[in-house]
Amino acid sequence: MPTPNSIRLLVAEDVPQVSQHVRNLLSIQSQVKLLEVLNDGANVVETAKQLRPDVVMVDLLLQGKVKGPQLIEKLRESGLDIPVVVLTVPQHPLARDPARGIDAVLTLPFSGFELVNTLSHVLADRQARTSGSCRVVSVFSPKGGVGKTTIAFNLAVSIAQQGVATALIDGSLQYGDLRALLKVPSDVPSILDLPTDRVLESDIRDVMWRDPAGIDILLAPPRVEMAEMVNVRDVDKTISLLRRLYEAIVIDTPTSLSEITLAFLDASDVVLSVVTYDSTTIHNTLAVAEVFSSIGYAPEKMQYLVNRADSSGGIGHDELARALGRRPDFEVVSDGRLVVQANNEGMPFVVSSPDAAVSRDIRRVAQTLLGRAPVNAPVRL
* Fold observed for domain 132-369: Rossmann fold (3.40.50)
Res. 51 pLDDT band, cuts 50 70 90: confident
Average pLDDT over residues 254-263: 90
Res. 363 pLDDT band, cuts 50 70 90: very high
pLDDT at 380 over 80: no
pLDDT at 224 over 90: no
pTM here is 0.67
Q: Does domain 7-130 have CATH number 3.30.70.3420?
A: no
Residue intervals in the chain for CATH 3.40.50.300 = 132-369
Angle, helix 317-324 to helix 279-294, in steps of 10 degrees: 30
Query: In this predicted model, what pLDDT tens digit does every residue of 274-324 receive, in sequence order?
Result: 999 999 999 999 999 988 888 878 888 899 999 999 887 778 788 888 888
Question: Nearest Cα to 250, choosing from 181, 151, 183?
Answer: 151
Which residues face 11 on adjacent strands? Answer: 37, 57
Query: What is the sign, positive or negative, of the torsion defined by CA atoms of 368, 379, 283, 296?
Result: positive
Degrees to nearest 5, angle at CA 134 with 327 and 2: 55
Query: In this predicted model, what pLDDT tens digit does every residue of 65-104 receive, in sequence order?
Result: 899 999 999 998 887 778 999 999 999 988 888 778 888 8
Which residues face 198 on adjacent strands? Answer: none
Residue intervals in the chain for CATH 3.40.50.2300 = 7-130
Q: Which alpha helices (H) appear in the chain, and where do they start and end?
A: 16-27, 44-51, 68-77, 112-131, 148-160, 177-181, 201-207, 232-245, 259-266, 279-294, 317-324, 336-344, 349-352, 357-369
Query: In this predicted model, what pLDDT tens digit does every residue of 124-158 receive, in sequence order?
Result: 766 655 555 789 999 999 998 999 999 999 999 99
Res. 378 pLDDT band, cuts 50 70 90: very low
Look at 133 and 32; give whichever has higher pLDDT: 32
Query: In this predicted model, what pLDDT tens digit does every residue of 2-31 receive, in sequence order?
Result: 443 468 899 999 999 999 999 999 888 888
Query: In this predicted model, what pLDDT tens digit does every residue of 168-218 receive, in sequence order?
Result: 999 998 888 898 899 888 889 998 887 655 556 666 778 899 999 889 999
Separation of alpha carbons 299 and 341, rounded Å: 36
Confidence at residue 377, expressed as pLDDT on a 0 to 100 scale: 43
